[in-house]
Each structure stands twice: as structure tokens, then as C-alpha cells.
Structure 1
Amino acid sequence: MTKNAHLIGICGAGMSAVAHLLQEQGWAVSGSDEGAYPPVSTYLEKIGLEPMIGHRAENIPDPVDLIVIGKHAKLIPESNDEVRAALEQHKDKVKSFPEVLADLTATRERMVVAGSYGKSTLTTLITHCLAHAGKAPGWFIGAIPKGFEHSASMGGDGPFIFEGDEYPSANWDDRSKFLHYLPQTVLLSSATHDHVNIYPTLASYHAPFQQLLTGLAERQGQLIACMDEQYAANFLHAYPGPKLSYGLCKGCNYSAANIVLGDPAAGEPTRFDLLVGYEVYPGFTTTELGRHAVQNICGAAAYLLGQELLTPDELRAAIADFRGLNRRLDRKAPASRLVIYEGFGSSYEKARAAIGAIREHYPARRLTVMFEPHTFTWRNRAALGQYDTAFDDTGTVWLFAPPTHGEGSHDQASLEEIESRVRARHSDVRSFTGDAMGEILADADPQEDVILVLSSGSFGGNLSQFLKDAETHFPSD
């Protein structure tokens, strides 16, 4: 008999991915949310799900075997009839989505990619390499990978690769999501302070990472960590179990040499040699931008070669074929002569890495940045100091107002405060609204400029139209 699963808050990226995993295991899936918007609404339609709009107790099917409740401030029994009904009438069937993921992968070899940045790309890169070599991985990725039909799949009998999120699991469970997965391997890309609304101090932010690694050590699991980031390096030095290091600094187990950055305009990839201890594996190429892309490849190699999952030749071929993720320095408006890239600017480190990559690959062009302080990490008043150097090495900086959702939960800075802070260190700063994004195109020269879009949001829902307008104003020849 088919089992029924109901997902409350199904339009979250993680929840929609879990919906697909349940479908793969033969569950009948239903779900509800306050609203459905692209890209998740498009994805749900693709997998044959139409969410019920609005939260009502009668949304819950009868019978129901599993209820998954998402992590959202509005999904609480005090104000949500559907959540209240689930907890009062079906409490023994309610789980968070990381609990469901843990259940679904209980018999698999599990690997978690964790860190304050780089984890989406690394998870996708490792999954791509395994799939390219026919190793049948399963995966769960918190972004939209290119070359995959789904952001999550049970796959075959290969290892299951998780993007490990340190965010709390549910409104009733403060444990970080990745603590549910009990992996055999952890790859730690970084541990720079993030999610300041949840973890106000660096020590509180590091606490769940320490819990993750303590459990890993108890299982005699392996830690792979990046030596280029100080906190990840500190965790690696202190780890008592099997471990490997990677990075672009000296002394790493997995590193790179002879890096020649590519020329995207000419279709030339970045080239480098992979160093594994004293062994040199030449001839690696990648179309991904920036030195941090090579750093990520070294991390993937540490896992894939270190555990003998791939040969160097298999890895080299897979890396050359990797096309990245949406919103991770991917080229936008391809039918436009104006060069536009989008970076996932949810933190200072991600923004700086994106700016650095564009500067490296387009050294002769003026760099215009469109920036939206979408995350709490950017819009908290205590974080205003980040803006002193955030936009170094750029030309014009266009600032969008921070969103208002959740502003009462922390000490939110205003657009005026952010603009004042940036203007103190930067000569050309302008603010704009969604209906005035055409000003940016009017100021652009497709022969001289490159535009970098930085946000984890969508500029009030106006980004798609801006990109369409760029193709209209500057059509390719």
C-alpha cells in the first residue's frame, strides 16, 4: 500500500528536494505553503506536485503516514492551524526534513560538505564527478546544479553526498541540520562567522561544527578541511581522527600548481596541475572562474582520490566537464553583448571571492556591482564594518534596500546607513529601486564594462526583468 507524506512549507528549496526523494521511494506526496514562486514552483510542477496555497488543518490527508514541517517563523502552532493540527492529532508522524533525510539514507555511506561558504559548489562538484565516472551517487544540494534534473536524488549504490547546513533543524529542534546525518566523512570548507541572527558570537557559531566533528571522531570518520581558511585549519589541527588537508597554500595534502587563469571571452579555460603530496597530475582544466574554483577542485580531489573512489584520469575528465551552479558566478543574459555574472552574495567572503574572480578574469574591464543586502549577516547593524572593504577593486556600486522580512528579529541597518558606510570608502555609490533598474543599463558600456550581480535574493523580484532588458538593450551580434 502506498504511504502518504504531507509537507507543510513545501515551497522551501530543501523541502521541495525532500518531496522528490520521497517520491523516488514510492511515497504519495502532498504539500502546502503560503505561496508558490519560481524557481521552486516551477520545480514542483516538474515533479507533478501542486501545492495547496494557504495553511489549513484540512490540508492534511487522511490517512497520513508522515508529516514534514519546514523551518520557517510562520510554521508554529500558535498561529498556524495546519501545524497545530499536525502536532495535536499526528504528533508521532511529524518530522523535520533533516530527520527524513537521515532516515532515507540510513543504509548509505554518507559524506557531508559543511562550511560557511563553498559547500553548494563542492557538493555539486563531488556529485558531478562521481556521476560522470558512473559511480551512482545520491545527493542533496541546497542550490540548483547545472547538468542535473534534480537538486536531490537517491541515486544508486554509491555514496550519498550532503550539503550540510548548520542552520537549526526545525522550530522545535535547535540542532543543526547536519547533526542528523551521522556521516563517515566531513569536508569542511570554512567556518567564518555567519547566520548572526542565530549565532551571535563566533563561539556559538562554531559549537555545532564541533559537535559534528566530535561525533565524526567517535565513528573514526575522516575529516577533510581547507587550510586556506583559518578556522577550518584550526578544526583540522585539533581533530584526533583520520584527516586530509587541501588548499592553495603550502603544505597541503592536495593542492595545485602552475595555475593559468582562463579567458572567458575567448573560451579559454583555467589550467593547472593537481598536486597530491609529491605526485603531480598535469593537465587539469576548468571553466569555473576564480582561484577559489581551483581550491574547490583540490577539496573534491582530496575526497575522491583520497578514498580511491575515482582515478586521476576519471577526475580530470569530470572536472573539465563541470559547468557549475546557477547563481555561482554563472554568465547571465547570454543573448546580450553586455557581460553580466551573478554571484551568491550572502556573506562578505562570498562577495569578495566573486569580486576577486571577476577582477582576475576581466582585468581590463570596469566592474560594476549590483548589491542587495539580503541576509541578516549583511543587514545587521553590528556588521556595518564589513562594508569598509566589501567593494574594494570595483567601479560603480549600486545598492538595493535590505528586505523587511525578519527585520524585527535583529538590529537591522537601513539602506541609508549602509550607503553612508560604503560611500566613506568608495567614490561611486548609488542606490536604486526595482522599477529603476534601467538606470544601470543606461550607464553601461558593453565594450568596457562587466556587471556583477550580488545577492541571495532577487532585488524585489525584479532581477529576471533586468536580465531580459539587458538582452533587449544590448542584443548580441
Structure 2
Amino acid sequence: MADKTRFHFTGICGTAMGAVAAAMKQRGFTVTGSDAAVYPPMSDFLRNQGITIAEGYKEEHIPADADVVIIGNAISRGNPEAEAALDRKLLYHSLPEVMKEFFLRGKRNLVVSGTHGKTTTSSMLASVLRDAGKNPGFMIGGLPKNLGCGAYFPDSEFNVLEGDEYDTAFFDKRSKFLHYLPDCVVVNNIEFDHADIYNSLDEIKLTFRRLLNIVPRSGRAFVNGDDPNCLDVSANAPCPVTRVGLGENCDLRIENVSYEPERSSFTLGGVPYSVRMTGEFNVRNAAMAAAAATFAGLSPEEIRAGLENFEGVARRQELKGEVNGIKVVDDFAHHPTAIKLAVQSLRQKFNGDRLWVLFEPRSNTTRRAVFQNELAEALATADCAVVAAIPDLHKIPENDRLDPEKLASDIVRLGGECAYLADVDAIVAYVSERAATGDVIAVLSNGGFGGIHGKLLEALA
């Protein structure tokens, strides 16, 4: 790819695609792109960089003189530009391949992986490095409040990458994180997820083994020493491994944990740290970020200051508003374990308040029956739960689908309170009639959930 100068991005308005396109343009390459949904802020950002964006996917949107077509993860066979790249025998690559060649080779790449906590941990780590003056590149699947954007590729010694085990592209079914040339890997935890591409936990463990298999001898893997799956995956890893956690078998122990409504404090290997977030899982996230930052050469004082400055990530326990003493909180949790942890953390943050959880089963896994029982157990830990209809139900085979009505009745059977309501307006009406001063309403979805946050605040007012 070294002699190529003209790049076309199919699916350019994704966070990472757009950031890489802009960085390529800044390095003097000719960059064009197209996307089905061209709207601000990404469209404005790209146009300000001087990048021409075509709306929609059409064969003619790929310039006749394009050297390379970069095909986004969301693009599948049948897309006119993907078909044109194949028909014209063009050189085409996935985004991770392009990142590897132009931004990661020769750098110190810190890859944060695991089923839960990737976004928060990688955001913490990038923020700590930036506060310490390292100006890291980063690619994060959320919006860290300290960083202002989800992806950025300056010419820096360091890159922080949220390492996703999801597949790379329609033509490359390896996990994305296998392209990231890791110097250091964090494995927060390992559970079954992504039921649309993995058939079993063993398949997921295999891809994590492959990740640890490419960490160099001079690198390091920090794994959750309290997670049996992490211990199993790292047992025969060829790179140095440090087990991080609360248990006695951990090499680097989290101790002296204390929680206040707005912060959590702990020591890691005897060194004290504090973060303005609540819940055990955020302590674990912060400990992993501190461990990786230490590996990168930062002092405890630099790490402590960076963690103290960390403001969190959009859509992670984010207070959207308060009306008549009723708080509406946005959270991204969609896996049963993440839901349980979110409930636990919200209880620590809002001690004694009645907790509502409004859940939209929207991810590829939660729309399937694979977690039918586990979702009931997780949602039953709230005081009141509401289950919404499954979006895009037609995309899931009928015998694989989650049954949301059964989910609601199972939550009641487990001692919880729950209603299944098919649409957003019905949910808003139901909750606003029953919510009282002092309640906390947590909205759990990995999508927009029909703008329910604003509608709720309006109805409560």
C-alpha cells in the first residue's frame, strides 16, 4: 500500500472510518468517501477537512483513479460499491488493515479488550496518557468526555485502541483486534457475546488466545485474575502476563476499595488511586487503565492526576435530566452481566432511591433467545423494569428470537416488577404515571431508543 495515494472510504461516516479518513487527508493522501447516512457532526468534520462525501452507495461514487477502496465493517455483499470493487478487481482493504499499515506499525499500541468495560477503560487510559503530555492516538467505541471525539490519529508514540472481538469485514472474519499490533493487551473479562457470529464461549476464547499470541516478549498482557475464562485463555500465553484483581492469586491486587456516592477509591499494588465513578466494575476498569499506563512508563502521580480528571463517557450512567425530583439516566448496558453491574453501581450512586430500568433488547445477542433466562435474572435486580419491543425483529430467525413477553413474566416470577410495552409512547405514559419523587429511571439501550430520554423528561414535567 506504500505507493498508493488515492483512497475511497465506503461507509466513511462511522466514527473510526471518519477519523482515519481525516488523518489520511492530513498526511497528504487524496481521500473520497460515501455513506448511506451523511449528517452532522461527522459530515461537517469531514467536509472541513476538504473530503468530498457522496450520499448513498453507487458504483460511480468510487473514483475511476482510486488506488484503494476501504470497505467499512457495516458493508455487506450486495452493496453497490462493494460489488464494484470486486467486479473491477480493485485493491480493497478493511479499516483495521489500513490502520495497521499507516498508523500502528512501529508504535506502542495499547489494546483494551474484553466483553465489558472496553470503552470506559480505553477512555480512561487515553485520557491519562493525554494529561501526561503523550498526545496518544486513540480509537474508542464511545465518546469520552475528556477527549471530545472517539478517534484521533496524530503522529504519536502511543495508540490506545478499544479492541473488539467482532469480525473485521465481510471478506475478513478474523476479530478486529488481531490487526492492532499490540504492545500491551488488557483483557477485562470474557463471556459469551455476539451470538450472530460466535456459536459458543469456546470460539470466543479461541480468538482471545490468538490475541495474546501476537503480544511480543517485550510486551505484556494484563488479565482479570478473578475471571476463570481470562485465566484459562492466558494460561499458556507466550507473552508476559500479569493477573489484576481483588483475589489473593492476583499478581497486582486491588485493595482498600471504598465507595462514595460520586467516587470510588482503591489501592493497586499498594498505590492509592481515586476515580469520579461508582461501582466495582469502574474500580476494575480504573485499575486496568492504571496498570497499562504504568507499563507505558507513567508515574503513579501522573496516573493519579489523570484518573482524578477523568469525566466519564457519554451514555455510561449519564444523567440526562431531573424533573420533580425524578432523575433520568442513560446507560449503554445490554449484556446480562453489564445490566447487573449497572444496577449495582446505580444503587451505590443513588442510595435508597427506587430504581427503574427501561430495557430495549437491541444488540445482535439480546434480540436472540440465548440470554432469555439471564436477562430476566439481571433485570429482576431493579425495583421496576420495563421491557420494550425488539427492533428489526425480521432480521432474527423466528426460532432464535428472544421472547420479550416471557422475559417480563419471568422477571415478575423472580420477584421483580415488570411490564412489557411495545412502543416508546406507551412506555413513557406508563412510567410517567407511576414514577414518584426520588425515583431514578435508567434507560438501557445500545441505540437511540426512539428519543425516549427527552420524551420522558417532557412527560414528567
Map of 1:359-398 to 2, 5 A cutoff? 359-398=347-386
2:33 partner amino acid = G
Change (3 A) 1:24 1:149: farther
Which residue pairs with 1:452 in the alignment? 442
Question: 2:13 corresponds to which residue?
Answer: 11
| Deviations, residues 61-117 of structure 1 (Å, cap 9, x unaligned) | 232132111123x531xx23221112222522x110110111122121112111111
Q: Is contact 1:254–1:301 with CA below 8 Å preserved after alignment? A: no
The 3 A distance-change label for structure 1 pair 263 and 42 is farther
Greater mean deviation of Cα atoms: 351-360 or 232-241 = 232-241
Which residue among 284, 288, 297 is the counterpart of 1:295? 284
| Structural mapping, 1:67-106, within 5 Å | 67-72=69-74, 75-76=76-77, 79-92=78-91, 94-104=92-102, 105-106=104-105
- The residue number in structure 2 matching 1:399 is 387
User: Shift of the alpha carbon at 1:378?
Assistant: 1.2
Q: Which residue of 2 aligns with 1:421?
A: 410
Q: Deviations over 1:271-308 (max 9, x none)?
A: x24231xxx333x3221121211111111111112x25
Q: Which runs of 5+ in 2 are unaligned?
A: none
Distance 1:102 1:334, change over 3 A: farther
Alpha-carbon distance between aligned partners in 1 of 2:459 and 2:427, rounded to the nearest angstrom? 13
**What is the 5 A alignment of 1:62-461?**
62-72=64-74, 75-76=76-77, 79-92=78-91, 94-104=92-102, 105-216=104-215, 219-264=217-262, 269-270=263-264, 272-276=265-269, 280-282=270-272, 284-305=273-294, 307=295, 309-333=297-321, 337-404=325-392, 406-408=395-397, 411-432=400-421, 433-443=423-433, 445=435, 447-459=437-449
In 2, the alpha carbon distance for the partners of 1:441 and 1:43 equals 38
- Kindly indicate whether the alpha-carbon contact (under 8 Å) linking 2:255 and 2:267 is maintained by their aligned counterparts in 1: yes
Runs of 4+ displaced beyond 6 Å: none
Structure 2 residue identity aligned to 1:344: F
Deviations 1:26-83 (A, max 9, x none): 33432222234677567656766674332111111232132111123x531xx23221
1:426 CA displacement: 4.0
What is the TM-score with the length of structure 2 in the denominator?
Answer: 0.91
Find the aligned partners of 2:50 and 2:318 in 1 and give their Cα distance: 28
Asked whether the equivalents of residues 254 and 298 of structure 1 are also in contact (C-alpha less than 8 Å), the reply is no
Structure 1 pair 300–69 and aligned structure 2 pair: CA distance change class (3 A) = same
How far the C-alpha of 1:182 sits from its partner, in A, is 2.1
Q: 1:52 corresponds to which letter in structure 2?
A: A
**In structure 2, how many angstroms separate the alpha carbons of the residues matched to 1:175 and 1:101?**
15
- Return 9-18 or 429-438, whichever deviates more: 9-18
| CA distance in 2: counterparts of 1:53 and 1:209, whole angstroms | 37
Q: Structure 1 residue 239: deviation in Å? A: 2.4
Query: Aligned AA for 1:375?
Result: S
Shift in Å at residue 473 of structure 1? 5.0
Cα distance in structure 2, aligned partners of 1:409 and 1:184? 43
Aligned counterpart in structure 2 of residue 56 of structure 1, from 42, 52, 58: 58
Does the 8 Å contact 2:386/2:427 carry over to 1?
A: no
The equivalent residue for 2:454 is 468
SS at match of 1:379: coil
Tell me the alpha carbon deviations over residues 164-191 of structure 1, each in whole angstroms, 9 at most, x when there is no partner: 1111111111111111122121111111
**What is the identity, as a one-letter code, of the residue corresponding to 1:226?**
N
Partner residue in 1 for 2:36: 34
Name which of structure 1's ranges 43-52 and 6-15 shifts more when overlaid on structure 2.
43-52
CA contact (8 A) 2:255 2:268 kept: yes
Partner Cα distance (2:107, 2:259) in 1 = 38
SS of 2:215's partner is helix
Bigger drift between 105-114 and 231-240 goes to 231-240
Q: 1:359–1:393: 8 Å Cα contact kept in structure 2?
A: no
Structure 1 unaligned blocks of 5 or more: none
Q: Does 1:20 align with 2:22?
A: yes
State the identity as a percent: 29
Report how many residues are paired. 456
Q: CA deviation at 1:410?
A: 7.6
User: Structure 1 stretch 329-338 or stretch 43-52: which is displaced more?
Assistant: 43-52
1:250/1:407 CA distance change after superposition, 3 Å: same
